[in-house]
Structure 1
Amino acid sequence: MIDLAKLKKRVEKFYKNSEATYRDARNALCHYQNLAPQQENYTFTNGSVKELINLAGTIPVTYKGNTYNIPICIWLLDTHPNNAPICYVKPTSHMLVKASKFVDQNGRIYLPYLEDWKPYKSDLLELIQVLIVTFGETPPVYSKPKSDSYSFPSSTHVPTSSGVALYPTKTTNYPPGEALPKHPIFPPNSPAIYPNYPQYPGPSIPSYPPTGNFGLTIPSAGTGTIKDEHIKVSLISGIEEKLLRKMKEQVQQKQAELQTLTRTQEELKHGKMKLDLMINKLEKEQSDLDKSITVLKDTEQELKTAIGKMENQEAINVDDAVTTTAPLYKQLLNTYAEEAALEDAIYYMGEALRCGIIDLDVFLKQVRTLSRKQFMLRALMQKCRQKAGLAI
């Protein structure tokens, strides 16, 4: 299993746009689990060396109805995704690179998708899908030729690396340049036999000695020529096979495009759900805000009305403002007020003594008189509360 946490640390260490690079690499690794991240030194054409991360492994490619694992290596530049990655085909010891307009002799891959790379729009997942479609049309590797002699089942038509169609007579192994029919999907670390792009026979085919392991099926023994009807049948068969291959390539390409569109649709749906939640939250907050504004406006209006009424009213006597509902309560209120006044008088008498305004004899005489009145008032206040049924 791929350690995504370790990958993230490596990306954060070596890459400028670490978040976008990690997200792009993680999506590719999750979809194609035969790829694995590696941290190695990459030597550029100018001789400079830089430590970069690459995705190395195999990708499944369908060719002639069979699925093969093509070994590749995708180097991510430290400016990714602003610049396109550098891609290579990495053949095993059992394979050779087949040069084409998409792959050079060194295995370097050239694609229009890489040339037209758009920062933050192009990604590794789409790049791998384009590689699968391209390699399904033009395989980038083929198996190495062997020095051993080969023989084949009489019912199997096998093109060689030279492009000449042979009709073998016995079964042992397969010749170089062609993959096993009905070959399963190989494990990531196992060497696979890869298909060589077939070539079809022309109007004439060289003859082979009748004593060899290989021989041509011809209408009459002892002649090395093919009649017009045989050429016609061969050409029709070749055209049918080519058309069928083209149809399969178109279907695979459309399937890859459909997968990309499906993934985009899922992302759009997920984004729409997020936007809907955000809109609902904003609408709720807007509704709460409108309610709060309405309450504040009503309260403000009430305050303005109360202030207007108070401005139009005459001055109120404080003694008249406090009224009681019964004579007992009025007596209790007056007693409490008088007792509080005596308390204040005793306090100020003490301050006068301290400041030397009055002497000690006057202070003691006045305090004795005030204390006696205060005691009587407190006793009266307690009796009133008892009659009124209040807590004592």
Structure 2
Amino acid sequence: MDIKSWLHTVLQHYQDPERTFRDVDTVLQTYLSLKPKMDTYTSNDGHTQLLLCLHGTIPITYRSIPYNIPVAFWVPREYPNSSPIPYVKPTASMLIREGRHVDKSGLCYHQYRSSWSNDQKHNLLELVAILQQVFAQEPPVYTKPNAATPTPPAIGSPQFQESLLENRNSPTQQRQNMPLINASQPKQHNFQISLPSNNISYARSTCT
């Protein structure tokens, strides 16, 4: 069964299946990185319902660099009388950046949604396009910072000498009877220091 036939089948229980099909099909043809699926949506009050979900990524350009924002658009059965429910869906390596248009759960807000009506002026495609523009100005996700590796003391410093003394006096060191490093003639040591990055980066993902 192709996508169009599948959509016609799953939308039979929607309030306006023909209008919903047209709008969803238009979005899928415009944003090829979005895919449809039927999944269980859980509302804030804990109510669950099987709804059509368009999940994947939408492309943006932020500071001249392209990114893909992972999203999910839930289409309620009352569509187009009710607005689609858009979410940002960060991957395991991402965190949500709360702002005017996205809360900590990833739910997206915009005046276009709050003033939603069932006329042709409001539709799923325009909502996706509007959020795409918003995300290009205010990216809703960022990469989790890496934990910084502690910087080892410089060879020859008082801290380094103290660490040598502690090692020499430890039972393990005494059993091994290993010679101490001469601070006046230091050996070559390679230390890897990982610092957190300030660069925002985004990755492609789907909703779960």
What's 1:237 paired with?
none
What's 1:20 paired with?
19
1:205-230 C-alpha deviation (Å, 9 max, x unpaired): xxxxxxxxxxxxxxxxxxxxxxxxxx
The DSSP-based 3-state class of the residue aligned with 2:131 is helix
What's 2:97 paired with?
98
The answer on whether the counterparts of 1:143 and 1:177 sit within 8 Å (CA) in structure 2 is: no
What's 1:58 paired with?
57
What's 2:200 paired with?
179
The DSSP-based 3-state class of the residue aligned with 1:4 is helix
TM alignment of 1:1-392, pairs within 5 A: 3-12=3-12, 14-121=13-120, 122-149=122-149, 175-179=196-200, 188-189=204-205
Query: 1:89 and 1:145 mapped to 2: Cα distance?
Result: 19
Query: 2:7 and 2:133 mapped to 1: Cα distance?
Result: 28
RMSD: 2.2
Q: What letter corresponds to residue 88 of structure 2 in structure 1?
A: V
The DSSP-based 3-state class of the residue aligned with 1:25 is helix
The answer on whether the counterparts of 2:148 and 2:195 sit within 8 Å (CA) in structure 1 is: no
How many Å apart are 1:79 and its aligned residue?
0.5
Percent identity between the two aligned chains: 35
Query: 1:173 and 1:179 mapped to 2: Cα distance?
Result: 17
Query: 2:125 and 2:195 mapped to 1: Cα distance?
Result: 35
TM-score by length of 2: 0.72
The DSSP-based 3-state class of the residue aligned with 1:133 is helix
The answer on whether the counterparts of 2:53 and 2:75 sit within 8 Å (CA) in structure 1 is: yes
How many Å apart are 1:131 and its aligned residue?
0.7
Q: What letter corresponds to residue 78 of structure 2 in structure 1?
A: T
How many Å apart are 1:177 and its aligned residue?
4.8
1:160-179 C-alpha deviation (Å, 9 max, x unpaired): xxxxxxxxxxxx97834523
Query: 1:38 and 1:177 mapped to 2: Cα distance?
Result: 36
Q: Which has the larger radius of gyration?
A: 1
Using CA pairs under 8 Å that are at least 6 residues apart, name the structure with larger relative contact order, 1 or 2: 2
How many Å apart are 1:120 and its aligned residue?
3.1
For structure 2, list consecutive stretches of 5 or more residues without a partner in the other structure: 151-192
Query: 1:173 and 1:142 mapped to 2: Cα distance?
Result: 18
How many Å apart are 1:88 and its aligned residue?
0.6
Query: 2:49 and 2:98 mapped to 1: Cα distance?
Result: 27
1:23-58 C-alpha deviation (Å, 9 max, x unpaired): 000000100010011111112222221111110110
Query: 1:33 and 1:69 mapped to 2: Cα distance?
Result: 12
Query: 1:96 and 1:34 mapped to 2: Cα distance?
Result: 21
| Higher strand proportion (structure 1 or 2) | 2
Query: 2:140 and 2:38 mapped to 1: Cα distance?
Result: 25
TM-score by length of 1: 0.39
The answer on whether the counterparts of 2:70 and 2:205 sit within 8 Å (CA) in structure 1 is: no
The answer on whether the counterparts of 1:36 and 1:57 sit within 8 Å (CA) in structure 2 is: yes
Number of aligned residues:
162
Query: 1:174 and 1:38 mapped to 2: Cα distance?
Result: 40
Query: 2:65 and 2:194 mapped to 1: Cα distance?
Result: 18
Q: What letter corresponds to residue 137 of structure 2 in structure 1?
A: E
Structure 1 residues 8 and 177 mapped into 2: Cα distance closer, same or farther (>3 Å)?
farther
For structure 1, list consecutive stretches of 5 or more residues without a partner in the other structure: 151-171, 191-392
The DSSP-based 3-state class of the residue aligned with 2:32 is coil
What's 2:162 paired with?
none
The answer on whether the counterparts of 1:73 and 1:87 sit within 8 Å (CA) in structure 2 is: yes
